[in-house]
Structure 1
Amino acid sequence: MIVFPAIDIQGGQCVRLKQGEKNKATVYGDDPVAMAQKLADEGAAWLHIVDLDGAFAGTRTSRDCIARIAKTVTIPIEVGGGIRSEEAVADYLERGVRRVIIGSKAVADPDWVETIVQRYGSEAIAVSVDARDGFVATHGWVATSEQRALDVIDGMKHRGVTTFIYTDISRDGMMTGPNIPALTAAHALGGIDIIASGGISRVADLEQCRDVGLYGAITGRALYEGAVTMADIRQLQNEK
């Protein structure tokens, strides 16, 4: 299983939010590029980067900062936040991002996502499914739709999407552990890679995700506050 250290960018700083609320941010650094290099140097296999300003406003405020990260580190990065057009997808891929994450746009326009996957390949596209009480939330988690998270994943699977990031909003940044039943149900759909996001608080949480058979798990606050270390991550990733 791949463990993805998270770098969430808001106002040019590295932050973590609680339950996706933009006014509940904790700042962990003022240089996202330096943070990315540090994590890469310490053994990260991938980085998960989110333009939070883009997620809330729909404009890719941090695109130049993210481009510098892609140019600086030698490991692959995946990027989400405010990616709602083919121009945005192409721009990030051209700037060296390995995988682009589609969120709100996937719920609003699944036909568009299918076209993007056909054009750029399933390895370059992931869909982020952010759930509150089992239903998908959109536009920076401000709005909750009437679509069940598992239904969205299944529908996107049949449109060619192979990688999904499943976030339980109630657990994001709360250090309460991942929603293993929901992740297990998503994984059971079969034929897709699920990346867990939200609630990772300790190494045992990562081990649970691995034991479910997940492709990956994202850790943010637990890593920045020392509950999980890069040494822990390296050891877990090296285990067979």
Structure 2
Amino acid sequence: MIILPAIDLKDGEVVRLKQGDFDKKTVYSKNPLKIAEKFAKEGAEWLHLVDLDGACAGESKNFNVIKKISERTELKIQTGGGIRKKEDVKRLLDLGVSRAIIGTLAVKNPELLSEMLKDFGADRILVSIDVRDGRVTTSGWKEESSLAMLDFALEMEELGVKYILYTDIGRDGMLSGPDFEGLKKLKAETNLQIIASGGISSEEDLYRLADLEFYGAITGQAIYQGKIDLEKVFSEMEDK
């Protein structure tokens, strides 16, 4: 299982939100590059990078920060927030970003997503399924759709999507543990490669996800609050 430490960008700073609420923001660093370099030094190979400004505005607002991290580290980056057209994906991939994260667009324009999958390949596209009370949300978690989580995941699989990121918004930033029930349902009902996000609170959560053979897990708040020792986790995962 790959472990992806998270950097959420707001106004060029590293922040964490609680349940996606911009009024519940904590700033952890004014230097995203330094944080990314620290993760790499601790053994990370991947980085989960979200442009929160872009997610709300519908266009990337932290492109220069993403560019700098891509150029100055060897981390494989998956990034999203404000991707609304093919040109946005191309621009990121041309930077050296490994995967573009598609969220709102996947819900509102699946035809365009299908074109992206054909143009860039399923390995370069990750669909983010952000769920509140069982329903998929969009636009930086501000709008709730009528789509049920599993129905949407099956629709994405049929479209040709290979990788999904599942986030239980109610757990995000709350350190309450991931939604194992929802995650196991997705794993049982689809053949998608699933990355778990939202609520991961401890090293034990990561080990359990690995034992359940999920493709990946994202952790942010627990790292910043010192509840997860990345270097230790990477070392122990290698020994398994």
Instruction: Letter of the 1:195 partner, please give it.
Output: I
Name the residue aligned to 1:68. Answer: 68
User: Which 4+ stretches in 1 moved above 3 angstroms?
Assistant: none
Check the 8 A contact 1:78/1:97 in 2, yes or no: yes
1:130 alignment partner, SS class: strand
TM-superposition CA deviations, 1:171-198 (whole Å, max 9, x none): 0000000000000011113322100010
Check the 8 A contact 1:48/1:79 in 2, yes or no: yes
CA–CA distance in 2 between the matches of 1:235 and 1:25? 31
Name the residue aligned to 1:109. Answer: 109
CA–CA distance in 1 between the matches of 2:3 and 2:233? 7
Name the residue aligned to 2:235. Answer: 235
2:8 alignment partner, SS class: strand
Instruction: Letter of the 1:101 partner, please give it.
Output: I
Spell out the pairing of 1:39-54 with structure 2 (5 A cutoff). 39-54=39-54
Name the residue aligned to 1:13. Answer: 13
Identical columns (%): 44
Q: CA deviation at 1:236?
A: 4.2
Name the residue aligned to 1:30. Answer: 30
CA–CA distance in 2 between the matches of 1:236 and 1:26? 30
Check the 8 A contact 1:3/1:237 in 2, yes or no: no
CA–CA distance in 2 between the matches of 1:77 and 1:71? 11
Give me the CA root mean square deviation.
1.0
Q: CA deviation at 1:34?
A: 1.3
Spell out the pairing of 1:1-240 with structure 2 (5 A cutoff). 1-240=1-240
2:204 alignment partner, SS class: helix
TM-superposition CA deviations, 1:120-171 (whole Å, max 9, x none): 0011000000000111011000111100111111111111110000000000
CA–CA distance in 1 between the matches of 2:27 and 2:108? 31
1:137 alignment partner, SS class: strand
Check the 8 A contact 2:157/2:190 in 1, yes or no: no
Check the 8 A contact 1:5/1:219 in 2, yes or no: yes
Check the 8 A contact 2:101/2:126 in 1, yes or no: yes
Distance change >3 Å, CA 61–CA 40, structure 1 → 2: same
TM norm structure 2: 0.97
TM-superposition CA deviations, 1:204-238 (whole Å, max 9, x none): 11122112221000000100111001123213431
Gaps of 5+ in 2: none
Instruction: Letter of the 2:80 partner, please give it.
Output: G
Check the 8 A contact 1:3/1:233 in 2, yes or no: no
CA–CA distance in 2 between the matches of 1:165 and 1:157? 13
Gaps of 5+ in 1: none
CA–CA distance in 1 between the matches of 2:12 and 2:87? 22
Instruction: Letter of the 1:52 partner, please give it.
Output: L
